Structure 1
Amino acid sequence: MDTSKPNSSQGYGKPPWVFKGSALYQLHLVKAETARAFIPKDFRLVEAFGYTLGGFFLANYEDSPVGIFDELVVIAGIVWNPPTSCAWAARVLVNSDQAFLHGRKDVGLPSRVANFTKSAREIPGTKRSRFGGFLNKIGMSDSMKSCLDVQIKEMNNHTAMDLCSINLTTAATAPSSQNDAGRWMGPAIKMSLPSFSGRTEHNPHLLKYSCQIECRVRAVSPAKVYGPFETTSEDSGGDDKRNLSISVMLSKPILALEFNSLQMKVEAPTVVPPQKKKHG
């Protein structure tokens, strides 16, 4: 495998790049025809009955090479990379200029600058929120009976355009004692999430990189996602892929995992050499 690396902006320093915080990883059934709009034609989409596995990764990093920032990764689907498969990002939204530039240039991601507006509200009759990690980031204890709404607006030529709103409202029974706290946060796990990127106007190479994750994980009920109130061709700036990214976010959720005490190490991407065509 070719281990050559694309030119780096040096903004993040030497890899691996380490991120710490909390996240929600939500898997959706995405229509294969929607996913194919983002995936290079030389990749084979992993699909069944006209659907692939996509979704989103919503994270709040309290520590990173560029400090605190929020990130929303819209995952178009899964592509086949023998002997495994890898996720393909349709769109990446961050509220950090440095993270935006790093994502575009160094990692070959379809990164955009966005505003993340978080608002918490109390809901009468609900129990402790299962999304305490996010509530803590805005100064609220997860012992409060509250939910968190995250509104993401993508910036385009200094204009903020609604992308989606994510409603974290699911409640669950709180641990009965301090000794239950570890089980309540879920088991500690380690896993690797391989991904492809690149083939963009800012980084034409086909890249592959790996995220090594350590965290406490637990299954939660999927968050509710709402699209823009009104979407017109003018609102989207003529960006069809933006509208398709919204379709991915609004597709049917099947599983949601909450990551707490998250530590993610991202290795520098490597350039994947073109596959040689077999001659019969």
Structure 2
Amino acid sequence: MKAEETNSITSGYGKPPWIFKGSALYQLNLVKAEVARAFIPKEFRLVEAFGYTLGGFFLANYSDSPAGSFDELVVIGGIVWNPPTSCAWATRVLVSSDEACIHGRKDVGLPSYVAKFSKQISATAKPKSKFNTFLNMKGVGGSTNCMEVQVSETKDTAVADFCNINLPAGDAASELNSGKWMGPTIKMSLPSYRIKPTSPAKVLRPASEKSDSTQDPDCTHSDDKRNLSIDVMLSKPILALQFNCLKMDVESPLIVSHVLLNSTEK
């Protein structure tokens, strides 16, 4: 399929490629196909099997980027067929930077919203499972420390809790200095990073949910889409990968012609 490059560039980001450095957690979940279809345009075909598709979320902390340091949560609704390959579909993007939010909306076409990321480390007991036993044998599990990340969307002075994410604590710098195994170094044409398997993060629905539609003035049926994005986060996890020493070189976004999209439909 052919595509054309967009010419819109946010002045604050400068010219691409845009470089992002930091760490991230990429968690894959089994998402119900009916939930994913609420976000995906009819021009695209959902990749699914037995009523499920592959979604999840990408939680990142960028220490350096065109917008400076900021946090990002990308909710992935599912996989769509985009000939000759497939790609993940972002249903909601929450960032702790106004500049990153504007760039995501205007230059990339992402459903970006500004959010507050509150973090604290606490001790917790891990539940016993075959998955955790396997990680312990490999020397990447067994930690009793947990980092709790509370994500709340913000609009002016209004705040709406989105979710709480509990994940194993630890940052790339401390692990690197301690000599702890961080996974093999992988270099590709897109990102460079160290990667290792980790225990799935535990996602909790916010205790109090506000449904004031003024929180999302630019999104049709904002409350429904917001709640469905939370359902994606709460879906059954199947794999969690931790990325350390992450470096991403991001090129200009590509837009797909609607004419070409319609011509590929069967």
Assess same fold via TM > 0.5.
Answer: yes
Cα distance between partner residues in 2 of 1:165 and 1:59: 15
Q: TM-score, normalised by structure 2?
A: 0.81
Cα shift at 1:186: 0.4
Cα distance between partner residues in 1 of 2:163 and 2:18: 28
Structure 1 residue ranges, 4+ long, deviating more than 6 angstroms after superposition: none
Structure 1 alignment gaps of length 5 or more? 131-143, 172-177, 193-211
The structure with the largest helix share of the pair is 2
State the Cα deviation string for residues 204-226 of structure 1 (Å, max 9, x = none): xxxxxxxx211010011101000
Residues 279/266 of structure 1: CA separation in 2 closer, same or farther (3 Å cut): closer
Structure 2 alignment gaps of length 5 or more? 133-142, 171-176, 216-221
Q: Are 2:213 and 1:264 aligned?
A: no
> Which position in structure 2 is the counterpart of 1:44?
45
Q: Are 2:255 and 1:277 aligned?
A: no
Q: Are 2:143 and 1:147 aligned?
A: no
Cα distance between partner residues in 2 of 1:16 and 1:247: 33
Q: Are 2:165 and 1:187 aligned?
A: no
1:161–1:236 contact (8 Å) kept in structure 2 = no
The partner residue of 2:196 within 215, 218, 225 is: 218
Cα shift at 1:156: 3.1
> Which position in structure 1 is the counterpart of 2:136?
none
Cα shift at 1:179: 10
Aligned length: 237
The amino acid across from 1:224 in the alignment is K
The amino acid across from 1:152 in the alignment is V
Cα shift at 1:251: 0.5
State the Cα deviation string for residues 70-110 of structure 1 (Å, max 9, x = none): 00000011000122110110000000010000000011100
Residues 120/7 of structure 1: CA separation in 2 closer, same or farther (3 Å cut): same
The secondary structure found in structure 1 opposite 2:55 is strand
The amino acid across from 2:163 in the alignment is C
> Which position in structure 1 is the counterpart of 2:112?
111
1:55–1:253 contact (8 Å) kept in structure 2 = yes
Q: Are 2:23 and 1:22 aligned?
A: yes
> Which position in structure 1 is the counterpart of 2:61?
60
Cα distance between partner residues in 2 of 1:125 and 1:52: 28
The amino acid across from 2:186 in the alignment is I
Identical-residue share of aligned pairs (%): 60
Q: TM-score, normalised by structure 1?
A: 0.77
